[in-house]
């Protein structure tokens, strides 16, 4: 029994014909995505929720796929509206439904029109109106925004800016921070950094510790959440365009126990929820930990013990337990050469599993690679999909006229292939989310997608009950070339990705056989054809 609408079948047939005409994969993806398969039948009148480890909108599961474009408010505040227009145009045409962009800019230069917070309790209305416009543009484009509220790094002011404001008027007697005299700066994956020692005896960690600094942060958060958008009249805390708030971007500290950051996250997440119970709240952390307990063996991380030795001062495992934190969004980069693509897949699988075990949804909040982006992004997105995650945002999408701020950036038309990979996964995630999560009356299978296939195709099916499952791919002579499954599986939606890269062009077949654990429930067999085109 194949659950495909007539219109879906017609679209699939059109794509098969185009393949025979030797159209490019990206062109075919773009044509397929131009259909209404992505329409959910809902508008942004409801808030995204976390329900049992999955994101939902209006009671239906939703995944968020898109990019980081952190500089949008800054660009608009300085008069470059074309940047914002182009980024949201790319999001619309490539079916991204998430943009992660900065909800902060802390500085002291009154001549800088992009600075939002000039000092504690002093805010720049011009820059805030630019953020209003970004929010409204997202609303008009049907794109959700994820907004971090402060930076760990010195870019755009960051936590050290708060500490410098404090250090200007206070002595060092109240600072009880942990100092490592051998470390002057801490650096991140993209070359960003912050100073351990800020000045006048105060240090970076004082941001999390000192009550007055915490009150300044809370004042900024209150101002933003209670702000009325000057374009559309909507309070930020009432705007469903915002998918959620992140308390900080990549918080780190020198406290190897992780307790300092965790205490701050407990306090601030509760504070945000007290003002705004509607939106999701996340920590914004990178995903490091203080031990490798609950993670895969360290050899699966290429013996990179620094990922779990507490050196970043944060424990993902403990932070995700916080009741007022709704989702996780760890980051993934080749921080060092030893962090390979395979290590990245283990990183995704572990963090997704830990998050969902705590009842929290999982996104990959930032991910990037310097080289071989197309292959790596495919493998990492595939891992999120396979592990039932809720999406991710690549670092970062820039406009076509902008020189990348770092080597991770992508733009159109230069990086059309990389954007096309993300666009294709946007389709696959939306297809998964459309499948009912409860049991159906019978086992069913979707058509393989894409078909014809050049690289990877998805085989998806739904089990009505606990079953023994056998899934194989064989050639035209009946020889099994890939044995994808042969095990007992629980009820629900399943999928496998078949990689055709090592097989020549030609006709292949896939066969799904299921036998219910209850004998009277019967069995199910389906055979389908796959066309491989190189």
Which residue of the set 246, 366, 379, 418 is catalytic?
Answer: 366
Segment (H or E) for 98: strand 98-100
Whether 250 is catalytic is: yes
162 contacts: CB under 8 Å, gap ≥ 6 = 106, 120, 150, 207, 213, 216, 217
- Alpha carbon distance 248, 50 (integer Å): 20
Contact 331, 250 (CB under 8 A): yes
* Alpha-carbon gap, residue 23 to 15, rounded angstroms: 9
Alpha-carbon distances of 444 from 34, 165, 464, 469, rounded to whole Å? 26, 62, 8, 13
Say if residues 480 and 472 touch (Cβ distance below 8 Å).
yes
> What's the CA gap between 429 and 186, in Å, rounded?
36
Q: What is the DSSP string of 307-372?
A: GGSSTTS--HHHHTT-TT--EE--EE--SSTTS-HHHHHHHHHHHHHHHHHTT-EE-EEEE--SS-
Residue 530 CB coordination number (10 Å): 20
Neighbours of 361 (CB within 10 A): 31
CB-based contacts of 68, cutoff 8 Å, min separation 6 = 99, 100, 101, 366, 393, 394, 395, 396, 397
User: What interhelical angle do 125-141 and 81-93 show, nearest 10?
Assistant: 20
How many angstroms separate the Cα of 61 from the Cα of each of 358, 390, 410? 18, 9, 29
Cα separation, 114 vs 127, whole angstroms = 5
Cβ contact 29:420 at 8 Å = yes
Q: Is 74 a catalytic residue?
A: no
Q: Which of 250, 286, 379, 418 is catalytic?
A: 250
Q: Is 250 exposed, middle or buried (0-12, 13-18, 19+ CB in 10 A)?
A: buried
Catalytic residues, by residue number, are 250, 366
């Amino acid at each position: 029994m194949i659950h495909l609408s007539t219109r879906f079948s017609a679209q699939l047939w059109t794509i098969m014909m185009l393949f025979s005409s030797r159209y490019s994969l990206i062109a075919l993806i773009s044509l397929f995505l131009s259909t209404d398969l992505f329409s959910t039948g809902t508008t942004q009148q409801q808030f995204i929720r976390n329900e049992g480890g999955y994101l939902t909108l209006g009671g239906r599961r939703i995944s968020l796929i898109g990019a980081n474009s952190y500089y949008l408010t800054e660009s608009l505040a300085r008069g470059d509206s074309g940047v914002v227009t182009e980024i949201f145009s790319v999001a619309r045409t490539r079916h991204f439904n998430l943009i992660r962009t900065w909800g902060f800019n802390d500085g002291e230069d009154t001549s800088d029109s992009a600075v939002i917070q000039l000092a504690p309790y002093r805010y720049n209305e011009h820059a805030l109106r630019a953020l209003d416009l970004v929010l409204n543009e997202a609303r008009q484009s049907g794109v959700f925004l994820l907004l971090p509220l402060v930076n760990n790094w010195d870019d755009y002011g960051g936590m050290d800016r708060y500490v410098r404001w404090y250090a200007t008027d206070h002595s060092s007697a109240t600072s009880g921070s942990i100092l490592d005299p051998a470390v002057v700066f801490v650096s991140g994956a993209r070359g960003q950094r912050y100073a351990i020692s800020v000045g006048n005896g105060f240090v970076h960690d004082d941001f999390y510790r000192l009550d007055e600094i915490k009150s300044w942060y809370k004042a900024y958060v209150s101002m933003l959440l209670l702000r009325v958008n000057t374009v559309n009249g909507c309070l930020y805390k009432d705007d469903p365009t915002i998918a959620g708030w992140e308390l900080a971007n990549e918080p780190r500290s020198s406290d190897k126990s992780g307790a300092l950051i965790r205490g701050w996250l407990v306090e601030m997440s509760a504070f945000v929820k007290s003002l705004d119970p509607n939106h999701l709240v996340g920590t914004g952390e990178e995903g490091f930990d203080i031990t490798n307990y609950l993670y895969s063996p360290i050899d699966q991380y290429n013996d990179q013990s620094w990922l779990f030795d507490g050196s970043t001062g944060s424990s993902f495992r403990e932070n995700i337990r916080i009741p007022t934190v709704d989702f996780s969004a760890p980051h993934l980069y080749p921080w060092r050469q030893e962090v390979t693509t395979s290590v990245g897949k283990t990183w995704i699988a572990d963090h997704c599993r830990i998050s969902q075990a705590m009842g929290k949804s999982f996104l990959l909040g930032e991910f990037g690679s310097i080289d071989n982006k197309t292959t790596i992004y495919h493998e990492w997105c595939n891992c999120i999909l396979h592990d039932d995650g809720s999406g991710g945002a690549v670092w970062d999408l820039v406009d076509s006229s902008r020189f990348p701020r770092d080597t991770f950036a992508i733009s159109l038309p230069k990086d059309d292939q990389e954007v096309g990979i993300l666009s294709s996964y946007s389709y696959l995630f939306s297809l998964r989310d459309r499948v009912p999560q409860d049991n159906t009356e019978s086992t069913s299978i979707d058509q393989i997608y894409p078909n014809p296939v050049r690289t990877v195709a998805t085989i998806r099916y739904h089990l009505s009950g606990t079953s023994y499952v056998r899934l194989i791919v064989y050639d035209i002579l009946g020889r099994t070339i890939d044995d994808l499954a042969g095990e007992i599986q629980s009820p629900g939606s399943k999928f496998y990705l078949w990689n055709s890269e090592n097989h020549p062009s030609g006709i292949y077949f896939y066969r799904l056989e299921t036998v219910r654990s209850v004998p009277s429930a019967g069995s199910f067999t389906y055979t389908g054809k796959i066309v491989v085109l190189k």
